[in-house]
Amino acid sequence: MDPLLLLLIVGIVVVVVAIVIAQSRSRRGSTEQPIAVEPVTPSLTQARAVQHQAGAQIRELKAAREEIERKTVELQDAVKRDVRRANFRQLRDMHYASKKTADAWYDHKRSATETRKRLSRGLDQYRERKRTLARQRDASSGTRRSESIAEISSVQSVIDGHYQMLKSIDAEISNGGQRLDQFNINTGTLRDYIRDNCGPEGREWYIALQARKQQRLG
């Protein structure tokens, strides 16, 4: 057989095989549907759990704020009346207790802030879920429509609960923060009194306190 003719036949076969493979892939691809990925909305049980956690943290914040309010009064009385009769160790311990009270409130605030972020994310997700359900309701009838209406009601109750918890957390953080400002002023007054009125011991304590503060701040 002529070599040129053989080469031509081989070329034709290669082209035909390539066309068949391409058509097969095209048919297979046309039957495969892309997987739709929808954002995951937390379940109603998960939403209630977040609300329960938020409620507990609001109560902790409130208790910490009330402790700050009580100790603010004690600190004011101590600075006004008892401070001149107290010795260095008593004043130092009073300052330490005041600082621990403030730190406890900040710890509760950090936890509540994280929960607030979860509530806020959940609120956005449930609002979007409600909009999706509303479209399903409007496009359906009978049992399907009734199911959508019932779920919308459940989702709305979660939205209302999340919104109320967000308002409560914000209000408690703001209220506690205002109380803490005055408390920290009083604690600073006591700190400076120790520095100025407790001799070398008080000055050394103050220098060490400021050094630790600078170390924490980096």
Domain with 156 in it: 40-217
23 domain-assigned: no
150-196, pLDDT tens digit by residue?
Answer: 999 999 999 999 999 899 989 888 888 888 888 888 889 889 989 99
Stretches where the chain sits below pLDDT 70 are 1-42, 78-85
10 domain-assigned: no
3-state secondary structure the chain: CCHHHHHHHHHHHHHHHHHHHHHHHHHHHHHCCCCCCCCCCCCHHHHHHHHHHHHHHHHHHHHHHHHHHHHHHHHHHHHHHHHHHCCHHHHHHHHHHHHHHHHHHHHHHHHHHHHHHHHHHHHHHHHHHHHHHHHHHHCCCHHHHHHHHHHHHHHHHHHHHHHHHHHHHHHHHHHHHHHHHHHHHHHHHHHHHHHHHCHHHHHHHHHHHHHHHHHHHC
47 domain-assigned: yes
pLDDT of residue 10: 44
pTM of the complete model: 0.63
| Domains contained in the chain, number | 1
13 domain-assigned: no
